Amino acid sequence: MKQITFAPRHHQLTNTRTWTADSQWLVFDVRPSGASFTGETIERVNVKSGDVEVIYRASQGAHVGVVTVHPSAERYVFIHGPENPDAQWQYDFHHRRGVVAEQGNVQNLDAMDITPPFTPGALRGGSHVHVYSPNGDYVSFTYNDHVLHEHDPALDLRNVGVATPFGPVVPAGHHPREYSGSHWSVLISQTTAMPRPGSDEINRAYEEGWVGNDRLAFIGDTLSVDGKKVPELFIVDLPKDEAGWKQPGDAPLAGTDTTLPAPPAGVRQQRLTFTHQRAYPGLVNVPRHWVRSNPLGSQVAVLMRDDHGVVQLWLVSPQGGEPQQLTHNRTDIQSAFNWHPSGNWLGLCWMAASRCAMRKAVR
């Protein structure tokens, strides 16, 4: 084990995509511990020399964090809070955006338009935890909506979206907080504020992960027949071309005054796990984890409790079927996890985070 940073401040790694393509640098942000979002720089450290470089420095009172790296280019995407925050507009789930930095050039990833008629390809709120697809073409994110938040915060349901390289998107700019973006952005999940108990309907979509380049898996919160939250695994097949990404379905891509932006035509989420009848139903929320597919896209790893109540690692086929238990520990897994590039191993921690290990993945 080798220590590579020594500055008397925090260095936060995102849960995935923190290595540059040449494996020489780790990217991080400098937020303090806890829930505060007050970091001002995005940085990287050379794992051999220990040299630290500032990739981006925020200004005008804005803050930044949660950086990930493009799989093949020196391109970095991260959360950016609002410049010149004030009492009416400050950092929040629905007041943030993705920003891309590459070789000194910086641009907004997603556009925002909060003035009707809303602009297709633009969002209406905040994007979060931006992750490139394996080929680097698309960027996934989670999303919260400013427009519905203003109506009723209970209607501002978390969703999953994708930014595609079919921009730029330039809203009319009727509100001073609106901005343009380089990518065409849409939501790919569908939520409802009041899911029917026992159904596949969800009121929250989150912690997504790429399954190859054309599918996304995510956790969706269903309700059991007695009305209790049960997080389940869902998957979505994504459009194949620009026309597909820009084709509206039954509802407007940009949303309305009273409805969220809707997915493109033909984009429908499919439920992969059905755990309502298990002794311990649902995927776990603690520890917080993001669903992760192996490089082949043939297995999606998640955390669930076994019949003894112990948090274990499970593998789910994107085609459906029963989850396969991978670990059989006596104590809970304590961390999120990631696949080794070979697809043969997963890295995780357990025993109150006092032990980290690589676990062999079965195929």
Asked whether the CA dihedral 208, 211, 214, 217 is positive or negative, the reply is negative
Delimit the CATH 2.120.10 region(s) of the chain: 12-279
Q: Please, are residues 107 and 42 in contact by the beta-carbon 8 Å criterion? A: no
The whole-number pLDDT of residue 354 equals 58
Mean pLDDT per block of 10 residues along the chain (363 residues) reads 93 97 98 87 98 98 98 98 96 98 97 98 98 99 98 97 99 96 99 98 99 99 98 99 98 97 98 98 98 98 98 98 96 95 93 62 57
pTM: predicted TM-score of the whole model, two decimal places: 0.96
The whole-number pLDDT of residue 1 equals 86
Q: What is the DSSP string of 307-346?
A: TTS-EEEEEE-TT----EE----SS-B-S--EE-TTSSEE
Peptide bond into 287 cis (omega under 30): yes
The whole-number pLDDT of residue 36 equals 86
Compute the residue count for the chain. Answer: 363
The whole-number pLDDT of residue 363 equals 47
Q: In what helix (H) or strand (E) does residue 148 lie, and over which residues does it extend? A: helix 146-151
Angstrom distance (rounded) from CA 80 to CA 109:
10
Q: Please, are residues 89 and 97 in contact by the beta-carbon 8 Å criterion? A: no
Angstrom distance (rounded) from CA 124 to CA 31:
26
Q: Which residues does 170 contact at the CB level (< 8 Å), separation at least 6? A: 111, 119, 180
Name the CATH architecture for the domain at 12-279. 6 Propeller (2.120)
The whole-number pLDDT of residue 350 equals 84
Q: How far is CA 64 from CA 67, 226, 347, 358, in A?
A: 9, 41, 27, 31
The whole-number pLDDT of residue 35 equals 73
